Amino acid sequence: MKMKKFINKPENIVAELLEGFALSHPSQIRLTGSHLVARAVPKAKGKVGVVTLGGSGHEPGLSGFVGDGMLDVSVAGEIFAAPGAPRCLEAIRLANYGAGILFIVLNHAGDVLSANLTMEMAKREGLNVKMTLTHEDISGGTNPEDRRGLVGFLPVYKVAGAAAEEGQPLNACFEIAERMGRNMRTLAVAVRTATHPSTGQPIFDLGDDEMEIGMGQHGEAGTGRMPLKSADETAEIMLDMLLKDLAVKAGEELLVIINGAGATTLMELFILFRRVDQILKARGIKLARGKVGEFITTQEQAGFQLMIARMDAELIRLWDAPSNAPYFVSR
Amino acid sequence: MTDAVTKNDFARMIAGAAAAIRSQHAMLSELDCAAGDGDHGATMLRAVDRLEAAFAPGGPEDLKTCLENAGWNVLGVDGGASSSLLGVFFGGMADARACEGPADASGLAAIFEAGLAALRKQTKAQPGDKTMMDALVPAVEAMRAAAEGGKSVGETLRVAAAAARAGAEATRNLTARYGRAKYLGEKTRGHEDPGAASVGLLFEGFYKGFQNSKGETSNA
């Protein structure tokens, strides 16, 4: 099938999308330096800066979460490709308000490599940076290194960003990010491929009547290709795997996020959420908070990510804290 | 010194590498469609533009500074792991003492070994994992062996290019164990690794570019 997208020259996609994003949210964000997405009004001195990086083509991830109460700076790479270390270092310098910087990195090979190089350069400059890696995709197997970072970045940005905004020191912000990270699990399912906006090629093949559980953000193969199932059946299979992996017990409190991949409707996501809630109730597990929407997408890929996270009182308080990030406004 | 590599020779090696990538970028993207997202050719085009810029006339005259700039430029390509790894490789070459003066074959091998050593600090990938290391490691080893055997710089670059090409070709029968492609596992069999193919082209270009600079006849 021929690609149908409203773009101009493929090589200008990233620059043009960032420009449009900044122009449409002038009170919250601005572009600065070499196309870094930063807050319109920088944070006060003496607070921890929060920085992230990631490829483009996943909008509103990741730059949609720059704003008061969340990120300070986001470094957007090329389509589906991590930005290099030089721009990440520039972002770390920009987010240095004198209390250190928390660098939140999603576990993908290119991102981790850039982040490691950035950390070396930052240390040489004497910058006080701590890096936290999100890797909560259970389809990667039991080895944490093989688990990719999916929509779990959202609660980590949120709780660590809120802690930084409160003026908590770097060690505390880092500990909160790590605690959030340890207590979350995600599983993705895909039913239809996306086309790469630069090449016009489909990024994977999936039969008309199939779905694949465990599919990564860029069409990386998952664990289970199976005939397409109903919303209820799909939610049951995926939630069951997640609850087992996180070893959730009755009485515990969960945050549940359902993230649309780009072409799956809110209608479907709400139908799925309804079934997730029913299952949790039946098992005596409390839904502390829920969120449904598009936070990280892959073009017109159809499918969704289901994330669960075990919450404690402090994590809930930080999740509820105010934010004016364009795609996470909370008062 | 006649059989030695100066900054200008290195610039021609880089120009040769850039030409090799430019002539084959579509093939690189095609290989990447099999196991990645099909943008490897585009990434490599940006990388060689930036490599060449570091050696452009009017820039620094010493090889060490040019290599440092080349590494930094390629890191800034924003093309995911491939451009970061290449940036580390070229930037790491600047750590070799041999790049402070005209390098003979042994000095040239030392420069490439320094690049490989820097790379190994950033990735655990080994030959056999279906990555650029499958072409790079044998190429650098072949350079060292040729230099130790008293071969000329041109001959050293020729055997390195042959080893890189052979290494890239051998990735066809391997299963990816690193990077994004590892999640595709067995599905990656039957296709050359795009990163290894790129390294094969770069080394072929180094050799051709050096031959152009010395006006020697190519017997490749």
Rounded to the nearest 10°, the torsion over CA A200, B17, B129, A77 is -50
Distance between CA atoms of A307 and A259, rounded to whole angstroms? Answer: 8
Peptide bond into A62 cis (omega under 30): yes
Section A95-124 average pLDDT: 97
β-pair partners for A253: A286
Q: Each residue of B167-202: pLDDT tens digit?
A: 999 999 999 888 777 777 777 788 999 999 999 999
Give residue limits of the domains in chain A. Answer: 10-182+320-330, 184-312
pLDDT at A221: 60
pLDDT of A216 above 90: no
Which member of A87, A140, A221 has the closest CB to residue B78?
A87
Clarify whether A58 is annotated catalytic.
yes
Q: Each residue of B80-136: pLDDT tens digit?
A: 899 999 999 999 999 999 999 899 999 999 999 999 999 999 999 999 999 999 999
Q: Measured between beta carbons, which residues in chain B are less than 8 angstroms from residue A82? A: 78, 80-81, 84
Residue with tokens 């690609």: A3
Q: Each residue of A218-270: pLDDT tens digit?
A: 666 666 789 999 999 999 999 999 999 999 999 999 999 999 999 999 999 99
Q: What percent of chain A has pLDDT over 70?
A: 97
Task: For chain A, give the longest Cα–Cα distance.
Answer: 55
pLDDT of B57 above 80: yes
Distance between CA atoms of A165 and A69, rounded to whole angstroms? Answer: 6
Fold of A184-312: Hypothetical Protein Tm841; Chain: A;domain 3 (3.30.1180)
Are A15 and A37 in contact by the 8 Å Cβ rule? The answer is no
pLDDT at B214: 66
Q: Measured between beta carbons, which residues in chain B are less than 8 angstroms from residue A78? A: 39, 43, 78-80
- Residue A257, phi then psi, degrees to nearest 5: -120, 130
Peptide bond into B127 cis (omega under 30): no
Cβ–Cβ gap B39/A80 under 8 Å: yes
pLDDT at B184: 72
For residue A1, the distance in angstroms to the closest alpha carbon of chain B comes to 16
Q: What percent of chain B has pLDDT over 90?
A: 80
Confidence of residue A200 (pLDDT cuts 50, 70, 90): confident
Q: How far is CA A246 from CA A140, A183, A252, in A?
A: 14, 7, 11
DSSP 3-state percent helix, strand, coil across chain A (nearest 5)? 35, 25, 40
Q: What is the overall mean pLDDT for chain A? A: 95
Helix (H, G, I), strand (E, B) or coil at B191: coil
Confidence of residue A141 (pLDDT cuts 50, 70, 90): confident
Quick one: CATH architecture of A10-182+320-330?
Answer: 3-Layer(aba) Sandwich (3.40)
Distance between CA atoms of A216 and A220, rounded to whole angstroms? Answer: 5
Numbered residues of chain A with Cβ closer than 8 Å to any chain B Cβ: 55, 77-87, 108-110, 113-114, 116-117, 140, 196, 198-199, 201, 203, 216, 218-222
Is the whole-model pTM more than 0.90?
yes
Cβ–Cβ gap A109/B178 under 8 Å: yes
Clarify whether A108 is annotated catalytic.
no
**ipTM entry:** 0.90
pLDDT of A10 above 70: yes
Q: Measured between beta carbons, which residues in chain A are less than 8 angstroms from residue B183? A: 140, 216, 220-222
Indicate the pairing of strand A253-260 with strand A302-310: antiparallel
The gap between the terminal CA atoms of chain A, to the nearest Å, is 44
pLDDT at B178: 80
Listed residue (A82, A296, A78) closest to A197, CA to CA:
A78
All domains of chain B, ordered by start, with CATH? 7-214 (1.25.40.340)
Where are the extended beta strands (E) located within A44-145?
49-56, 73-79, 101-106, 129-134
Cβ–Cβ gap A85/B84 under 8 Å: yes
